[in-house]
Amino acid sequence: MKTVRRILVYGIALVVLLGAGGYAALCFSPALQDRVFGMMVEQVMSRDTSSLTAEDGLRVGICGSGSPMPDANRTPACNIVFAAGEMFVVDAGSGSWQRAASWRVDAGRVGTVLLTHFHSDHIGDLGEVNLQSWVGGRAAPLAVYGGPGVERVVAGFNEAYAMDRTHRIAHHGPEFLKPELGPMEAHVIEGVTHGSGSVVVLERNGLKITAFAVDHQPIEPAFGYRFDYKGRSVVFSGDTHKSAALAEAAKGADVLIHEAMAMEEVAIMEETAKRNKLPRFEKILHDIPDYHSSPRDAAETAAAAGVPTLVLSHLIPPVPGWFGRILFLRDTGIDGVDTHLAFDGMLIELPAGSKDVKFSDLGR
Ligand SMILES: [Zn+2]
Ligand SMILES: [Zn+2]
């Protein structure tokens, strides 16, 4: 027994010594530093994500599962749909492009952005999506779809980035960064107003994208989107109060990605803000529940629509992941609905010709 203990102690001491020696060598040897850095870069740059755009099904990457409330682990709203060999960005919350970029996706394949509405947690990174896809070699101007008002949002971002584009063209040359592909183009989705109908936004190469109105009153327009491709379908709720129109539009879909607000926790926050004399925060916390949905609302909408897989995203308030699973999923148990909690980096795969829904982690 004594011998075993001695071997263990010597073993640990050896590992500590080797670790300390290695760290000391790294601190004092530029050659070793460069070698380690080169290995890190190799690991990042050699990552092949081309299978994400393979035309064998529908895929969704969650590049933002958070809300406007600060959260170290969750970026505001952002989703990327990989379908028909293209990448479609659904909402571009502040800072969200960096999440997608960290997956090493081919930015030049982003040709379309669909905005659910114009709250800042859904549009804050629109300028970056445009800039990075341009630098990534996009073949046409970025098409940005949204309700009436999208032309103002697009014009504003185009203007805000005008100097940046000038600087980059001057530096890298107009052959590399084609000036005509720099500014975004707005596409106004007409004919969808609160409580009325849906409209096909685009249909090509077997992919159909439909917009429909949801209930984020007084915010107008406020849309959700449905993607249908090769017999598989995914629906995004956007921001909404519990919505019958959403249940209708999501009928028979495979996956519903729905916003969620833990109402009891927001009430606790409001009470706490009041006690701590934070009247402006208290007012906002008081106002927000009436245009969002509880996790239970989302589960009931999924059940009404006959959608078997529900993913809660746009999570309010921010809580650590392990605790979030407890808080957000505690009241979602409904027969026939399998509920998941989104995280930044979540990949949802819907292979063509099956009913499977696979979840994995793209990292961040
Ligand atoms: Zn909103
Ligand atoms: Zn929002």
Q: Are residues 16 and 101 in the same domain?
A: no
Residue with tokens 């927000």: 288
15 lies in the same domain as 125: no
Dist. CA 337 → ligand 1 center (Å): 25
Mean pLDDT computed over 169-175: 97
Burial code (b: 16+ CB inside 10 Å, e: under 16) for 177-188 equals: beeebbbbebbe
Query: Could you tell me if 251 and 135 lie in one domain?
Result: yes
Paired tokens of 223? 């849309």
pLDDT for 19 beyond 90: no
Would you tell me how many other CB atoms lie within 10 Å of the CB of residue 32? 13
Of 98, 100, 104, nearest to 81 by C-alpha is 100
242 and 154, same domain (yes or no): yes
Please name which of 256, 258, 223, 259 lies closest in space to residue 350, comparing C-alpha atoms: 256
Give the mean pLDDT of 25-35: 92
In a shared domain, residues 177 and 212: yes
Whether residues 33 and 92 fall in one domain = no
pLDDT at 17 over 90: no
Helices (H), the chain: 2-28, 30-45, 96-102, 120-123, 126-135, 150-160, 162-172, 244-249, 263-275, 279-287, 295-305, 321-329
Determine the distance separating the centroid of ligand 2 and the alpha carbon of 280, expressed in angstroms.
Answer: 19
Residue 231 in contact with residue 245, Cβ under 8 Å? no
**Same domain for 224 and 318?**
yes
Question: Tokens 């790294």 sit at which residue?
Answer: 26
Neighbours of ion ligand 2 (CB under 5 A): 119, 121, 239
Residues 162 and 219 in one domain: yes
CA of 1 to the centre of ligand 2 (A): 62
Are 38 and 137 part of one and the same domain? no
Token look-up 């101007």 returns 141
User: Which ligand approaches the C-alpha of residue 119 most closely?
Assistant: 1
CB-CB contact of 215 with 243 (8 Å): yes
Is residue 265 pLDDT above 80, yes or no?
A: yes
Q: Tokens for 242?
A: 């519990």
Which residue would you say has higher pLDDT here, 19 or 56?
56
Give the ligand with the smallest distance to the CA of 68: 2
Residues 168 and 130 in one domain: yes
What pLDDT, on the 0 to 100 scale, is given for residue 7?
83
Per the annotation, the verdict on 121 as an active-site residue is yes
Share of the chain above pLDDT 70, in %: 99
Which residues fall within 8 angstroms of residue 60, CB to CB, at 6 or more apart?
79, 80, 81, 82, 234, 255, 257, 347, 348
CB 238 within 8 A of CB 121: no
Rounded distance between C-alpha atoms, residue 145 and residue 89, angstroms: 10
* CATH number of the domain bearing residue 292: 3.60.15.10
User: Ligand 2 centroid to 346 CA: how many Å?
Assistant: 19
For ligand 2, the distance from its centroid to the CA atom of residue 118, given in whole angstroms, is 9
Which one, of 259, 173, 175, 275, lies nearest residue 222 by Cα?
259
- Chain centroid to CA 6: 52
Tokens of 322: 């392990």
DSSP labels, 328-339: HHTT--BTTBEE
Q: Which of 25-34, 255-264, 347-356 has the lowest mean pLDDT?
A: 25-34
- What is the span of the domain harbouring residue 210? 52-361
- Out of 71, 121, 125, 297, the active site residue is 121
- Residue 3: what pLDDT? 77
Q: Cα of 100 to ligand 1 centre, how many Å?
A: 21
Cα(289)–Cα(263) distance, integer angstroms: 7
Tell me the C-alpha distance between 269 and 208, whole Å. 41
pLDDT of res. 8: 86
* Cα–Cα nearest to 348, from 249, 255, 270: 255
pLDDT surpasses 80 at 2: no
Question: Does residue 83 surpass a pLDDT of 80?
Answer: yes
Question: What are the start-end ranges of the H helices in 149-262?
Answer: 150-160, 162-172, 244-249
Q: What separation in Å is there between the alpha carbon of 301 and the centre of ligand 1?
A: 19
Ligand nearest to the Cα of 260, by number? 2
If one counts the domains in the chain, the total is 2
Residue whose tokens read 């916003």: 259
- Residue 111 Cα to ligand 1 midpoint, Å, equals 24
Instruction: Tell me: do 13 and 131 sit in the same domain.
Output: no
Using one digit for the tens of pLDDT, what is the confidence trace for 287-343? 999 999 999 999 999 999 999 999 999 999 998 888 999 999 999 999 999 999 999
Tell me: pLDDT of 196 over 80: no
What pLDDT, on the 0 to 100 scale, is given for residue 31?
Answer: 93
The answer on 273 and 221 residing in a single domain is yes
Q: What is the mean pLDDT of the chain?
A: 95
Closest CA to 49 of 105, 107, 109: 105
**pLDDT at residue 1, rounded to an integer:** 63
- pLDDT tens for 319-334 read 888 899 999 999 999 9
Query: Which ligand is in closest contact with the Cα of 219?
Result: 1
Nearest ligand, measured from the Cα of 241: 1
Taking the centre of ligand 1 as the mean of its atom positions, its distance from the CA of residue 292, in whole angstroms, is 8
